[in-house]
Amino acid sequence: DTGVSQDPRHKITKRGQNVTFRCDPISEHNRLYWYRQTLGQGPEFLTYFQNEAQLEKSRLLSDRFSAERPKGSFSTLEIQRTEQGDSAMYLCASSSNMALGAFFGQGTRLTVV
């Protein structure tokens, strides 16, 4: 399968713990996006990378959130000191050119208890 891959698929963590998610984009896609989706809502933009450069961050991305894409391939999203409000589906997408659209992974479901 050469689609976007996210790991883990599910994560349950206690409030205050740190969590890290990984996204492997489609091979040779230079753009990588992170979105967050809560129940009954559409995905909300968090941040995106072109190659290893982080080009934009949403105001939703508080200082507890950090994303990296060190070699322009896979990306990680870390949430420090998790809060119950962080519970959501975290979606990753990649694109070679937005004229061709974006392709999403299966998401990581985070539950903070």
Residue 25 in the binding site for another protein (CB under 8 A):
no
Closest CA to 95 of 13, 35, 15: 35
Give the burial string for 17-50 (b: 16+ CB within 10 Å, else e): eebebebbbbeebbbbbbbbeeeeeebeebbbbe
Please count the residues of this chain forming the interface with another protein, following the rule CB under 8 A: 28
Residue 104 in the binding site for another protein (CB under 8 A):
yes
Cα 98 from Cα 61, distance rounded (Å) = 23
Q: Which pair of structure tokens corresponds to residue 80? A: 């420090």
Cα 37 from Cα 61, distance rounded (Å) = 13
Question: Least distance (Å) from another protein to the CB of residue 81?
Answer: 26
Closest CA to 108 of 84, 86, 81: 86
Residue 67 in the binding site for another protein (CB under 8 A):
no
Residue 29 in the binding site for another protein (CB under 8 A):
no
Nearer to another protein, 44 or 83 (CB): 44
Binding mask 34-53 for another protein (x = CB under 8 A): -x----xxxxxx--x-----
Question: Least distance (Å) from another protein to the CB of residue 45?
Answer: 5
Q: Which residues bind another protein (CB under 8 A)?
A: 4, 6, 33, 35, 40-45, 48, 55-56, 89, 91, 93, 97-107, 109
